[in-house]
Structure 1
Amino acid sequence: MTEARRATPGRTGGKLLADALVAQGVTHAFCVPGESYLDLLDGLYSVRNRLQLVTCRFEAGAVHMAEAHGKLTGKPGVAIVTRGPGACHAAIGVHVAFQDSTPLVLLVGQIPVEETDRESFQEVDYRRMFGPIAKWVTQIDDEKRIPELMAHAFDVATSGRPGPVVVAISEEMQKRLSTVPDIGPAEVLPPHPAPDALPRLMDMLARAKRPLAILGGSRWTAQGKADIRDWLLANDLPVSVAFRRMGLFDGTSPNYVGDLGVGADAGLVAKAKESDLVLAIGTRIGEPVSQGYTLFDMAGATPIVHVYPDQAEIGRVYRPALGIVSEVNAFAAAAKAAGAVKKPAWSAWTKELRALRVAQAVPPDYEGPLNLATALQALEKELPEDTIFTTDAGNFATWPNRFMHFGEKQDFLGPTNGAMGYAVPAAIGAKITHPERAVIGFVGDGGFLMTGQEIATAFHHSVNPVILVFNNQMYGTIRMYQERTYPHRVSGTALTNPDFAKFIEAFGGHGEIVERTEELVPAVKRALASGKPAVVEVRTNPEQVTNRATIAELRAQAAKAAASATRPETAKAARTPAPRRTGPRPR
């Protein structure tokens, strides 16, 4: 055989891309197919025994599935979409990954390079489009650079503050041949706390009387969660979790004091303002956690120890008394090794905060045949200890947050950016990632009809999440604000819905309707036992627009506020001009 015959013909760019994903350890990719990456699809066919390609029905759903996979594994979720409309649909999932700090790599098909700047069919400049909501955006036009740029994309997605990376892949590049070798993951040790970080933290803690820990962030491992739990309990610290991070700490623990986010208990918020030391571990202390940036003084009147893997985020809003640049699991191990304060002075404080959490979780006597709080608490006792929960955005989501107690082996996935349409595809992505675990999705009637069609993906890939659709026939959160500001003037928030049980039955799945408190547990148990994708429609009382107020109560509050504003002394005060600003004008 001649040397020429023995020479390898090389691989197409499409095959190189598929092999690059395998080289980075990717096991699942979620896609909506498009002609702009036919050659990548062909490359994925050749690695089908090592990488499962999940075919979805809508690009936003595909990216939500990939994002849920990234949340659960700590490794970048991978989604693939076509150019133009496909990329635009995918953008909401990129925004979720950005604000949730979830590692994600999105591959986007692109036009041929020679057609650039002609407004070719479906042409978009992805660097400009995704620049504000991604950690990095690149485009591969040279097939020889595929291994290099793909490896770097995965590095960026997981380094520092994790987040999304977008890689555009030009069409003709995928067809050309190259003989470049694959590049695997780089072995990089995570940032650890500085040598004096833990001694200084422990000294500050020893002098505190009202400390509060807030757990947040992403890429926590089981060991990391166990280590931080052991340290927090050894110091008898009150522990709260950041917005939609209920899976980070055992909600049944006597040290758990509730979540700081949208709909947080007013009692916890008040106590957080009284704290004399805040341990912010893994959280950015963003807008939901800080209650609209009102919880703490930005100049540092309340001492904050801020632990975060990216130095750029420490002090970005709140000036900390101590900033510790560290990957969360590395910090947890170091904290556990540091031990406990000898004589903590805050045991009564911890019990006081816990009592507030216990009190707010007691179900009120809601009007009507369905007390959702009581039903959810009955349900939590029947679910497996390793259940994965996903949630959508909306007022309905505050019910599980307030009334359920999520165990330490359970995971809770929710969009901290408030994206509706997340829960159903996230539940499917979670079930594909962990088919052996029960998956329960919480979604409102509004959010379900945004991405509920993704239930077809569950059938196609033989997984069976159970989706609870809370149906109050409205966009509940917006109706709540509407009644507070413009009472009785209902505009744009009412909904007309299908029979959601029949919707899933049309696919061949399991459907149930719940209208009474005692019906929820049996319905969910039957859904889980069916072995099919399932929808349980929970018909809630539209009048009970939040778990703390009815529409009538909101209208009464608005009327009282309006009456107060028209009193003579109030009106006079309103007409008094505000003092002029004497300092420099803000830029």
Structure 2
Amino acid sequence: MTQAPDTAARRLVETLVMNGVDRVFCVPGESYLAVLDALADVRDRIQVVTCRHEAGAANMAEAYGKLTGRPGVCMVTRGPGATHASIGVHTAHQDSTPMILFVGQIALTDRGRGAFQEVDYREVFGGLAKWATEIESPERTVEVVERAFATALQGRMGPVVVALPEDLLHAQGGPAPVKPVVPARAGLDPAFVDQVRERLGRAERPLLVLGGSGWTTEAAAAIGDWAEKIGLPVALSFRRKDILSNDRPNYAGDLGLGCNPKLTARAKAADLILAIGARLGENPTQGYTLLDRARTAETLVHIHPGAEELGRVWTPSLSATADNSLAAHALSVLDPGRAWHEEAKAAHADYQAFSTPVDVTGAVNMSECMAHLAQALPAEAVVTNGAGNFAAWLHRFYRHRACRTQLAPTSGAMGYGYPAAVAAKSVHPDREVVCIAGDGDFMMTAQEMATAAQHGLGVVVVVVDNGTYGTIRMHQETHYPGAPRVIATDLRNPDFVKYAEAFGAFAVRCETTADFPAALDAARTAAREQARPALVHLITSAEDIAPGRTISGLRSK
């Protein structure tokens, strides 16, 4: 069936083109065939990346939004397609990532009948997304999609879900789009900037904390140069280690899981915390123990693009609603009249000591492997991960040196890393992309290796295989000690080398620290020169359950 040129489906795709969308991550479905047909006419402008599972597609769209600052677009079918994709929406919400999920929907005329795969998407996604809606009038298609872009990008960025009733997609689509959406961005009041300068001038132990999304490379460099010039120690929020180069002489480390005790002590002792973009939620504040509400009323200057985040947990001394990058540029010209170079030097020395490789019991030392990874990869390489104890080694011992080089879920979502790497390689085919994945983590979205192979994307994945769900095993050993009580955490894994080779990927097994550099180099070479995915199967010991922790040590406590 040939569509008329002005159907709602075509208006939707025209709006995507108008707003600079260059790729859509999807699992095709009959409920939005009309949109797929419209995409066929713009394949020279929008690449359709066909995925093998809706969770993979949604994670790819989230990673695209995190990497580019533009909404990642995902399309899935109704019912199970949408619920599979909900993990990506949750991550986008937790991570403040711009994303739009388009969901095929039953015909509007069948709503409320319990039709095949019928779901009320406003109800299901209402608490996960910034806005969940359904197109109910085809003439308003462009209006709704434009609002989706504005909502995803303005204030605290986040995901939007738009349901597409099947029958309306074939109807007249109303007016065509006229111009792309330009999101409104708030700047800092000059009077507020003066107050910050005055507070800095009185501070003896200040700490700059950067986090959140929407950072431009230029703004990150500006605030980084300013902080370095005046010797202001800077910490980065959980899984935001790429905002500034970790090699800067005033970099104090990241406020994440397994945080450096000396950094937590520094934050607790700070008489001024200038936080830009960071929500200061559970993980950055070490389970809400890092800060004290009485002290923050005197010491916390909090800047965030979402007004609802200011005063949500911590009473600030000063607060302002502003775009992270605009705020950074405004503050980067301040002269506080003093400097803290000795504080900065000490903070960076503490970070360097904490990120120096440690001893382990097994044949593979993950701290040395991750330190080697940092030395081997170029500064602009993108490194991704999902969730699990394996990620603690990456975050602690890998040093990011460029902005927009880390894709990791603050939501703690397993299975995120590999789809994120596929998306990153799709966006930047000229950059190296390496995923560090746990064995349990990788298997949740390992089927997306087929997507990488189909699209010729040379993604490297290092599968850290210790045969267990490490984080849960660690908590079992801690809270319910005794080997017989371990339950539901042991994993029986496939031969990952054979698994990868079945997709036409390069794969190599590695069982010692000494063999890792050669294995990594072989995988990188295959990915780069042959444009095909590559896998390093890294066998590690479950005994080395986390940096500085062993299973036997946990049992002895």
TM-score (normalizing by structure 2): 0.96
Match of 1:146 among 141, 145, 149: 141
Q: For 2:90 and 2:461, how far apart are their aligned partners in 1?
A: 24
Letter in 1 for 2:300: I
For residue 522 of structure 2, what is the aligned residue in structure 1?
526
For residue 556 of structure 1, what is the aligned residue in structure 2?
556
- Does residue 506 of structure 1 match 2:502? yes
Q: Gaps (5+ residues) in structure 1?
A: 1-7, 558-587
For residue 84 of structure 2, what is the aligned residue in structure 1?
89
Match of 1:370 among 360, 364, 371: 364
Q: For 2:12 and 2:431, how far apart are their aligned partners in 1?
A: 31
- Does residue 112 of structure 1 match 2:107? yes
For residue 449 of structure 2, what is the aligned residue in structure 1?
455
TM-fit CA distance, 1:347? 2.9
For residue 52 of structure 1, what is the aligned residue in structure 2?
47
Equivalence map 1:132-211=2 (5 Å): 132-211=127-206
Q: Which has more radius of gyration?
A: 1
- Does residue 64 of structure 1 match 2:59? yes
Match of 2:232 among 215, 231, 237: 237
Match of 1:291 among 271, 286, 295: 286
Q: Give the root-mean-square deviation of aligned CA atoms.
A: 1.4
Q: For 1:485 and 1:526, how far apart are their aligned partners in 2?
A: 41
Equivalence map 1:81-480=2 (5 Å): 81-299=76-294, 300-301=296-297, 303-338=299-334, 340-344=335-339, 346-409=340-403, 411-480=405-474
Work out whether residues 138 and 172 of structure 2, in 8 Å CA contact, stay in contact via their aligned partners in 1.
Answer: yes
For residue 539 of structure 1, what is the aligned residue in structure 2?
539
Q: For 1:159 and 1:188, how far apart are their aligned partners in 2?
A: 6
Match of 2:43, SS? Answer: coil
TM-fit CA distance, 1:186? 3.3
- Of stretches 88-97 and 251-260 in structure 1, the one that deviates more from structure 2 is 251-260
Q: For 1:18 and 1:186, how far apart are their aligned partners in 2?
A: 14
Q: For 1:400 and 1:253, how far apart are their aligned partners in 2?
A: 19
Count of equivalent residues = 548
Letter in 1 for 2:325: N
Equivalence map 1:9-28=2 (5 Å): 10-28=5-23
Work out whether residues 10 and 178 of structure 1, in 8 Å CA contact, stay in contact via their aligned partners in 2.
Answer: no
For residue 572 of structure 1, what is the aligned residue in structure 2?
none
Match of 2:161, SS? Answer: strand
Q: For 1:526 and 1:380, how far apart are their aligned partners in 2?
A: 16
Q: For 1:209 and 1:537, how far apart are their aligned partners in 2?
A: 49
Q: For 2:98 and 2:4, how far apart are their aligned partners in 1?
A: 35
TM-score (normalizing by structure 1): 0.91
1:224-266 CA deviation, whole Å, 9 max, x = no partner?
Answer: 1111111111221111111100110111111111110111112
Match of 2:200, SS? Answer: helix
Work out whether residues 439 and 467 of structure 2, in 8 Å CA contact, stay in contact via their aligned partners in 1.
Answer: yes
TM-fit CA distance, 1:470? 0.6
TM-fit CA distance, 1:368? 2.8
Q: Gaps (5+ residues) in structure 2?
A: none
Letter in 1 for 2:537: E
Q: For 2:207 and 2:33, how far apart are their aligned partners in 1?
A: 53
TM-fit CA distance, 1:24? 1.6
TM-fit CA distance, 1:348? 2.7
Q: For 2:239 and 2:388, how far apart are their aligned partners in 1?
A: 12
Match of 1:137, SS? Answer: strand
Work out whether residues 141 and 173 of structure 2, in 8 Å CA contact, stay in contact via their aligned partners in 1.
Answer: no
Work out whether residues 385 and 410 of structure 1, in 8 Å CA contact, stay in contact via their aligned partners in 2.
Answer: no
